[in-house]
Structure formats: C-alpha cells, structure tokens
Amino acid sequence: MLGFGRKVVKYRIPIFILSILLLIPAGIGYINTKVNYDILYYLPDDIETMQGQDILVEQFGTGAYSMLVCEGMENKDVSELRKKLETIDHVEKVVWYDSLMDLSIPLDMLPDKVKNVFNTEDSTLMFIIFDTTTSADETMKAIQDIRSVTGKQCFLSGMSSVVTDTKELADKEVIIYVVIAVLLSALVLGIAMDSFFIPVVFLMSIGMAIVYNLGTNIVQGEISYITKALAAVLQLGVTMDYSIFLWHSYEEQLEVFDDRKEAMAYAIEKTVKSVVGSSMTTVAGFIALCFMSFTLGLDLGVVMAKGVVIGVICCVTVLPSMIMIFDKVLEKTKHRAFLPSMDGISDFITKHYRVFAIVLVLLIVPAYYCQRHADVYYNLDETLPDDLPSSMANKKLQEDFNMGAMHMMLVNSNLPGSDVREMMDEMEQVDGVKAVLGLESLIGSRIPESMIPDSIKEILENDQWELMLIDNEYKVATDEVNEQITELNTILKKYDPSGMLVGEAPCTKDLITITDKDFKVVNAVSILAVFVIIIFVFKSWFLPIVLVAVIEFAIFINLGIPYLAGTTIPFIASIVIGTIQLGSTVDYAIVMTSRYEAERGSGKGKVESIKIAHRANIKSIIVSALSFFAATFGVGLYSNIDMISSLCNLMARGALISMVVVLCVLPSMFMVFDKIICKTSKGFKGGLQSEQK
C-alpha cells in the first residue's frame, strides 16, 4: 500500500481535478433520481393487500383515492365543483350524490346508509378516484390542482394527500438538513482539531463523497424520501472518523519524515489498513438492513453501504490530495488544541472499573426490558405536523363524519347476490364498521338497477370482481382497526376464499406484522456479521462477545429512553437504529481493543495495558462521537417530519451513549475478563506468558 500512497501523492493535482469533474455527472444523476414518498410502496409484492392494489389499478383503473369534505356549501355549488374536479388531469371519477341521480330528485331517495356515509348536517363528502397510483407524480400534481380550485371550506384527505404534503415538506427541508449538519460538524472539528482550515478540507472531501453516492443512486432507479433525507447526514456522521484518522496519521509521520510527500504516503498506507477494517463493521450494519422484507431497509441499506465504501475511497485519494495542495494554508491556520488533557478522567475510570462493571450488571436487564416495551406508531400521517392540509383534512373527516380508514373489498363478481347481502349484513355487525357499500347498497326498493349510471357500475364491478367500500370509524394502525380487519377477513373468506381486503389500514396491518419479524432478522444479521468481523480482526472467539455486548447495552439504553419518557417513536426508527448504532459505534470499542491487544501482546501487565489503551484513545473516541452527534442532532431538532426527526435524535443520542459506555464499561470488561481474553485471543499471548512468569 506504500506504493499506492506514493502514487496518490504524485498525482495529487490530477486526482483533485478529476474529483471536481466527477461532481458534474454525479450532480446530474442526483437531480434525475426519482424519489418515492409512499412508505407502503415498500411492502412485499406477494402479500394479498398489494396484489389487491394491483387489481384495482389494472382492472378498475383505480389507483389512488381521496375524500373531499365540503363544509357549508349549497348542493348546486358542490355539483359545479364536482364537474370542475373531473376535468383535472388523472382524476378518473368524482363520486357524489349527483353521480347517482339528478339534484332535482330528493336526497331521501338514496338508501339511508349511503346517504349517512356521504352527508352530515353541514358537510358533504366526495369520493375522488385517480387513474394513477398513490405516490405517482401525476397523482401528486392532481392533488395540488384540486387544492388550487377548492376553497377554504374544502378539505382533501387520503394517503395521496399525505404523500403530497410529505414531498413538499421533505423537499423544502432536505437542503437545510445538510447545512445544519455541516455547520455543527465544522464547529466540533474546529474545537477538536489543531487547524482552523482542516474542517473545511474534511467537509469538502466528504461532501464530494456524498454527492458521488447520491448521484450513483440513479442506478437504483429511485430511492425513498427517508433515504434521500438521511443519506448525506448519516454519511457525514459515520465517515468523518476516517478523515480524522488520516490527519492524525499524517501529523505522526511528519515527526518521522522531513519530506512531507513521503510522510503522506506512509500516512495513506496506515490509513488504508485501519480504515478498511474499521469500515467493514459499518458496512455490515447497513447491509443487515437489506435482509428486511419491508424493502425500505434494502433501499437505505444499499445507499448507505455504498456511501461508506465511497467515503473510504475518497479518504485515501481525494482527501490526501487536498491536504497536500492546501498544505501551506493548513500550516498557517494551525492552533493549539482546545480539548484539555483527558488523562485524569481516564485514570479515574480505569481505577473505579468495579463500579462500572456493577452498573452494567444492574442496568442491562432493565434496559433490555425498556427497549422491548417502548411504544412505536405506524400511522404515517402522525409523522407530519398538525397544520398541514392533509392532517387537517383527516381530522375534519374524523370529526364531521366519524370516519377513520375506508377499506376496499374485492369480491368475486360471480358470488350470488344473496350471499353478498348476507356477508354485508354480517360485516356491518363488526365493531367500528358503519356501513358496507356496493352495488347491492344502491339497488333497493327506492332505486332500480336501471337508474344506476354505467359510469358508477364500471367503478364498482367488472367481469371478475365487485368492488365494495367499508366505512369504518377506527383510525389506521390502532389495535381496534387491526382486530376489525381480522374479523372482516374471516367473514370475507367464509363467503369468498378469493376475496381481498385492501386499503391503507389493511396494508398498515401487514406492515406491523412484517416489520415485527424484520426487527428480529435485522438485529440477528447485524450482530452475527459484526461478530464474525471481530473474530477475524482479533483472531478471538471471546472478544466479539465482550465488544458486541457492550454496544448492545448502549443500544438497549438508547431505545429504552422513549419507554421511560413515555414517548412514542415511528416504527422504522425501532428497526434500523439498532443496526446503525451497532455498525457505526462498535468502532469505538474496536480502536480501544486494538491498542489493548498491542500493549498486552508486547508483554505489559493487565492494568498497565488497559490504562495505556484508554489514555491513548479517549480523545479520539470523544471527537468521533461528537462528530456523529453534531451531524445528526441539529437535524433532529429542526425537522418537522417526525420519521426523520426521531431517527436523527436516536442516532445522535446513541453516539453519545455508545461513547460513554465504551469509555466507562469496556475497560471494566477488560479488567474482569483479561485472563479469558488472553487465553482465547491470538494477539494477547505475550501478555499472558509475561504474567505466568
């Protein structure tokens, strides 16, 4: 690797020019990468709810749907509005009273349950059907157009409305996330490093790596808005260590070599060896996300694993080139280190190791219990501020119509009418179900079938399926609606084994089931992957147990805090934070263990080796954790999207907790288990032999 380092130094200017030129295609790729704002899109394609959604699109031309609450409007004005809405591109149909009969015919002609679903004393409800899917660009444009032609007394609800608001808010905030992360990271680096200009060089190099990563996402076709919002911030936080290590290595080599070029060549060699090994655990953590059935994990995992690899490459090519080019500026802006000596703190921790060992024993079980019982939520509109149009519309729908999630049901069109009516009657007895609506609801003593317009029949029935709507008073993702869906499915399958219950609430119920399994799978895969990597790094079967246990203890504390605080976190945070925190902060434990191994293997005693390892690494671990904290904390405070805010808050807090646990608890583990570690680890044999003598 020394030859590689010398070539990087020799071709530093061409490398720097090439790195700038590569920003152009990367920027084009970033701009042209499609972003998906629909979380439910990432459910597996083979589950029944998703198959039902495909049938709605392919056979009924019914992609997304929304409900429009019109408050305090005359019937003739509502009718005019309905006609205007149907002229909007990609609005397939708007269903209201006058879709069934002329306004001159009394409303009482409608069956009571149909009339009550769509009308209250002061409000009426339109059902808007789009010919494109929930998160399609065309649907979101149609949502904006609908809002532009409706007045303040109209409220547009539904999943597409939520997705549209999510897009507008996320697009507005994502640049600010990066600015906040960069400013706070620069502040930490300015205090921690010995040059005022080196933070600028670090951030320029990492910034290029981030742009390369985001630009190459075009190969995937599209990414989720969560991935887009977090990728830059997360990549900045987890790869900053590599830049700090190269700088410190370069400064060490300058004390050995008078030639600055040779010093950098040797610094690159040392950095490649250490950073590649260190990055493996971080990459493994992100790859573990790819094992989720809920493919949002695959989306985030691929982008971030790729980002770490690109970050490593830039760290040993672009960054050293920039340091050499700006060498004179870096020299002129050097200052004394602002961080005080940590030797006193280090000595205190290692001296009182028994106290920290007792803390671990006393807290690990309660911490595990708390993180297992922390409340999570799955209702996607809860991640948005209450003052957004979709949030206000959903609240209005609940208040005026006592309407929660509207279910859709696909029933075999050959099912006898008597069975259909019997099934509908049975379903209407289920708690929370207000009405089951289909052709059978419209065909009654008051309205003969001949009076029902063909346009309505086409919406509700084709040669294979009949589409029915279930009006329900329970909100999405509640225990009540999930129990209701189970009962409705039982009744449906009794009459029609091929029937399907679809819609936001059934999809969310599947989301809960699938992500509960994913949580276990991701945790197991990430722990196993990191465990195996540590085995190979230290050639030890016991050290992986110690290191993983210490970081898992930190994760338990982090995820247990919401339980103690009585707060609820979004479901995705509880799944991904464990593997991200494990993969990105186990490095703190590895770097201290490496020095402990080196000192112990050279023949030094247990206590002396642990003290040297702790003193040597306390500052670098603190700086690393504070850098990760800085990159995520500000975004967590600023973001109005709770999905983003909660993830960033958990990552920021997790970095600090891992730092404290590694600095305080890991040395006590070394003290307690030193003899076992020496016996089961190849690199510690020298220390064991020395003590035996």
Do 674 and 554 share a structural domain? yes
Q: Cα 185–191–194 angle (5° rounding)?
A: 110
> pLDDT tens digit string along 61-115?
777 888 899 988 888 898 899 999 999 999 988 888 777 666 665 666 666 666 7
pLDDT at 10: 94
> Is 175 domain-assigned?
no
Instruction: State the residue range of the domain holding 493.
Output: 392-509
Do 627 and 504 share a structural domain? no
CATH number at residue 157: 3.30.70
> Is 180 domain-assigned?
no
pLDDT at 191: 86
CB 34 within 8 A of CB 167: no
> Is 587 domain-assigned?
yes
Element of type H or E holding 68 = strand 65-71
**How many whole angstroms from its chain centre is CA 44?**
17
Q: Which residues, at least 6 apart from 50, have a Cβ–Cβ distance to it below 8 Å?
A: 43, 44, 507
Pairing status of strand 91-95 against strand 222-224: unpaired
Q: Which two tokens stand for residue 595?
A: 């020095």
Do 361 and 330 share a structural domain? no
Do 85 and 141 share a structural domain? yes
Residue that the structure tokens 């157009």 belong to:
145
Binning the chain into helix, strand and coil, the percentages to the nearest 5 are 70, 10, 20
Do 544 and 683 share a structural domain? yes
> Is 690 domain-assigned?
yes
Residue after which a domain boundary falls, among 165, 184, 205: 165
Distance CA 577, CA 559 (A): 8
Q: Which two tokens stand for residue 343?
A: 């030797």
Q: Which residues, at least 6 apart from 210, have a Cβ–Cβ distance to it below 8 Å?
A: 231, 232, 235, 236, 307
Q: Which two tokens stand for residue 462?
A: 């084709």
pLDDT at 106: 63
> pLDDT tens digit string along 613-625?
999 889 889 988 9
Do 155 and 66 share a structural domain? yes
Distance CA 125, CA 67 (A): 7
Distance CA 472, CA 379 (A): 16
Do 233 and 108 share a structural domain? no
CATH number at residue 498: 3.30.70.60
Dihedral through CA 474, CA 479, CA 484, CA 485, nearest 10?
100
> Is 355 domain-assigned?
yes
Distance CA 241, CA 40 (A): 35
Per DSSP, which regions of 317-455 are E strands? 376-377, 407-412, 433-437
Give the residue from 432, 371, 28 showing the smallest Cα distance to 217: 28
Which residues of the chain carry a pLDDT beneath 70?
A: 100-114, 116-117, 440-459, 685-693
Do 324 and 358 share a structural domain? no
Residue after which a domain boundary falls, among 165, 183, 213: 165
CATH number at residue 586: 1.20.1640.10
Do 659 and 555 share a structural domain? yes
CB 232 within 8 A of CB 239: no
Q: What is the 3-state secondary structure (H, E, C) of 556-567?
A: HHHHHHHHHHCC
DSSP class of residue 341? P
> Is 173 domain-assigned?
no
> Is 611 domain-assigned?
yes
Do 421 and 478 share a structural domain? yes
pLDDT at 690: 54
Do 117 and 23 share a structural domain? no
Number of domains comprising the chain:
4
> Is 178 domain-assigned?
no
pLDDT at 691: 57
Do 204 and 294 share a structural domain? yes
